[in-house]
Structure 1
């Protein structure tokens, strides 16, 4: 009889070990491109041309970073990406909050149709909408302008932001809003003072995904931005490719590392606030 608990504990230990092993394998799978990118960014041209590449550079150098800044305006492109992605994320979330609240709290045939349209709109490929989108922006004189690209990203990210925030709005107990209404608060006051603070984890998560999506987007930026002073990091990275597709590997890797850092920092910063908000909500509940 005593062996049965031992077998149960052994089975749980084996199951947990398999989970940790799978998680470790997944982390290695995700980390491999980033580690290889970092290694390539610090390698000399001789090491990059070696037939026996190594993980750790034998003679680390910053020449690739200097060459990347000399070849392309990375600073201006990074600033453009930051302004465009940040503005698009803030506007998308700002518009999505009241819209998601209305779709959840005021259920009707219109709201159901709007929710279905949100889901369907995510299935449209970029190529399908680029020509009419280009013509609309041309008529608005927003081609080759940062506000025009911000508008495109807001429209493109808004369905996802709406879809994501709806689940967080549903998690807010309607009894809290009813209590606020009894105290004389209107819908707008209830949304701002009662619902919005409880949506903090959802707002952070949606803001994070919207920013990263806009920061990494390439196709719209390539088509809609022509002048070099307006181009984003994702477009500037393609300038390190030659006419026949040959890549200047060292500077390209260095520029890619620089393009990855802001997104990682933004994610790390908001990740802490996301965790803090979730824990705060759990304690209050």
Structure 2
């Protein structure tokens, strides 16, 4: 008895396609579970911010409030002046992001393109500086800022955030620079472009994703930072948003969950808006500079 050779060829193909569909389905299932895991804290935060005090102390809380209210948002704004604190955080975060990008861009290009012993030592120091804990640095930082008259000022806070974000920004950006082929710069120089023109027309457009990622990192780090702002800023009118939100927690550790959740929800919105605005630029510079060069 002979077997049809076409059957022996089609059966492995069907089995392979079936395995691929099962594997793809498991991947989608794992991705959906991961998204639910990430979204659940934000969903619960939204639910808590709209709950009245009675529902916050229920033994079996529900996800959807039975009697939603806006009283938590009103209380959060009237008691702690979250609007002013959010404006302070926005100014400090934007200034930190812009200054970090302006300093890290030429420095990362020099570290990536001019490989010297000094550059290797500098990269090692960049990594080593990330190991220092906040507690060891806060006292000397406060003393230095007080000597130069920048304690209890937003300028001093911006300076600290820029210095703290620069090591990681340099390390990240120099990786983007190394991924840009040197042949593009050589082709631009053959066409008569100067070093500055090459940087402006070839390198910077290709660095757009890295610059956006660096700006996002610096902005979110400054927006969410609490420890330095708590120690360095003493005037209530200059307090940033994380410090203002901490005032909803009492001395004994008891927290007013409603206003705290409402304020925390409002505190997440600028980061989401900034990310939504900037993420469009992540892929826009992938090959733009190669065409211009």
Give the structure-2-normalised TM-score: 0.93
Residue 117, structure 1, aligned to residue 125, structure 2: yes
- Of the candidates 240, 245, 250, which is equivalent to residue 248 of structure 2? 240
Listed as ranges, the gaps of 5+ residues in structure 1 are none
1:176 corresponding residue in structure 2: 184
Distance 1:7 1:59, change over 3 A: same
Separation (CA, whole Å) in 2 of partners of 1:239 and 1:71:
10
Separation (CA, whole Å) in 2 of partners of 1:176 and 1:8:
43
- Of the candidates 120, 128, 135, which is equivalent to residue 136 of structure 2? 128
Deviation at 1:284, TM superposition (A): 9.0
Q: Which moved further from structure 2: 173-182 or 201-210?
A: 173-182
Residue 222, structure 1, aligned to residue 227, structure 2: no
Residue 274, structure 1, aligned to residue 282, structure 2: yes
SS at match of 2:58: coil
Separation (CA, whole Å) in 1 of partners of 2:290 and 2:224:
33
1:11 corresponding residue in structure 2: 19
Deviation at 1:161, TM superposition (A): 0.8
1:187-212 deviation digits (Å, cap 9, x = unpaired): 33322232111111111111111111
How many pairs align? 285
Alpha carbon RMSD of aligned pairs, Å? Answer: 1.8
Q: How is 1:68-217 mapped onto 2 (pairs within 5 angstroms)?
A: 68-217=76-225
Separation (CA, whole Å) in 1 of partners of 2:194 and 2:18:
58
Deviation at 1:31, TM superposition (A): 0.8
1:66-111 deviation digits (Å, cap 9, x = unpaired): 0111110101100110000110011001100000000011001001
Separation (CA, whole Å) in 2 of partners of 1:280 and 1:271:
17
Separation (CA, whole Å) in 2 of partners of 1:132 and 1:184:
50
SS at match of 2:62: coil
Listed as ranges, the gaps of 5+ residues in structure 2 are 1-7
Runs of 4 or more, structure 1, over 2 Å off, are 179-190, 275-285
> Which has the higher Rg, Structure 1 or Structure 2?
2
Separation (CA, whole Å) in 2 of partners of 1:281 and 1:39:
46
Separation (CA, whole Å) in 2 of partners of 1:282 and 1:251:
51
2:61 corresponding residue in structure 1: 53
Distance 1:67 1:177, change over 3 A: same
Deviation at 1:186, TM superposition (A): 3.2
